[in-house]
A and B are shown apart, each in its own frame.
Chain A
């Protein structure tokens, strides 16, 4: 009798939680590791021209096309710092506009400019002392205003297409500058952005 009762007590043992906790931890680690990284990044999508046959020839400069020239002007004393010179060149202005209109955007010290957001989350200035040491970068607020103005002019013509924008960037310019201009174009709604294949000398 005594032995039998003992057996019954053993049968009614508590549920063992340890394996379940093991498995739950394992699942936790799995999902933490597999789900974490890429969701934090944004993406600017772009499509290259589908027609490879055209790329060897010069593309035509369209009237009203906005061409950005981004140049790296190194500091003569310390070549690790410098400024990014940004200008637009209008080779074929639309009738009525001043011919050969040339717009240079003043550059300013990136250590002064801070990241701020306007009321409508509009970009005020990129750049941070820690991020862009010793760079003088163009004032992107001016660039955005200028692009907005040109985009508005183009839209009133009612061609239904986006204004063409070409970014002619010299080799030494940091990538952030290109991303900024693409970003501004995306925000305004300009989809026709080209990166120039070969540099055309300005002068």
Chain B
């Protein structure tokens, strides 16, 4: 009897935790990476352009905000209405301007609060931000939102804009 019990006890080994932790870390990393991508980049069909250059990485200081203009999901697909989406949120003209002002202020604020990059001074002492904005515009959507983005960017002092394209 006694012997049997001790052999029983031997079978109750400790559970191995290492593979489980490995798996959990893997899942965490996977979801962190995939959600970051989906937050900034919406599914849009980009316009064709043969001359679109691949993104240059020589200026590592550049901070680029990604703004999407996708098909409006409220309307039916054929109406070609669109909406401006930034980090998963739909913006109208007013909130777009507020967002741009926030980002410009954050970019110019000193390091503990922001990035601390000096503003450039243009003609007429206009303060210009170093921010870059990548516009990912759905090619089927009406072009009226382009004008809105240009106008608001100019008012906020952001002048470096890029239009995302794809090769046909």
Residues in A lying within 8 Å of B, measured CB to CB: 22, 25-26, 29-30, 33-34, 37-53, 55, 80, 115, 121, 123, 126, 131-132, 169, 171-180, 182-183, 186-187, 195, 197
Stretch of B6-14, B91-99, B100-108, B120-128 with 4 or more beta carbons under 8 angstroms from chain A: B120-128
Annotate B105-137 by CB proximity to A: 1 below 8 A, 0 otherwise.
000000000000000001110101000001011
Min distance, Cβ B151 to any Cβ of chain A, angstroms:
7
| A41/B165 contact (C-beta < 8 A), A50-B123, A186-B51 known | yes
Min distance, Cβ A63 to any Cβ of chain B, angstroms:
24
Report whether over half of chain B's contact residues are helix, strand or loop; otherwise say mixed: mixed
Further pairs besides A37-B37, A44-B51, A179-B49: 9, Cβ < 8 Å: A33-B37, A34-B33, A41-B55, A42-B165, A53-B126, A169-B146, A175-B143, A176-B48, A176-B139
Question: Which residue of the partner chain, among A30, A37, A174, contacts B142 with CB atoms under 8 Å?
Answer: A174
In the complex, which residues of chain B have a beta carbon less than 8 angstroms from the beta carbon of A174? 80, 139-143
In the complex, which residues of chain B have a beta carbon less than 8 angstroms from the beta carbon of A29? 26, 29-30
B162 within 8 A of A: yes
Q: Is the CB of A123 within 8 A of B50?
A: yes
B138 within 8 A of A: yes
In the complex, which residues of chain A have a beta carbon less than 8 angstroms from the beta carbon of B54? 39, 41-43
B67 within 8 A of A: no
Q: Is the CB of A47 within 8 A of B160?
A: yes
- 29 examples of A-B residue contacts, CB within 8 angstroms: A29-B26, A33-B34, A41-B55, A41-B136, A42-B164, A43-B54, A43-B162, A44-B51, A44-B53, A44-B165, A45-B162, A46-B162, A48-B161, A49-B154, A50-B123, A51-B126, A53-B126, A171-B144, A175-B47, A175-B69, A176-B48, A178-B146, A179-B47, A179-B49, A179-B137, A183-B49, A183-B51, A183-B165, A186-B51
Min distance, Cβ B19 to any Cβ of chain A, angstroms:
8
Q: With CB as the reference atom, state the residue of chain A lying closest to B165.
A: A42
Question: Which residue of the partner chain, among A25, A46, A52, A53, contacts B161 with CB atoms under 8 Å?
Answer: A46
Residues in B lying within 8 Å of A, measured CB to CB: 22, 25-26, 29-30, 33-34, 37, 41, 45-55, 69, 78-80, 122-124, 126, 128, 134, 136-144, 146-147, 150-151, 153-155, 157-168
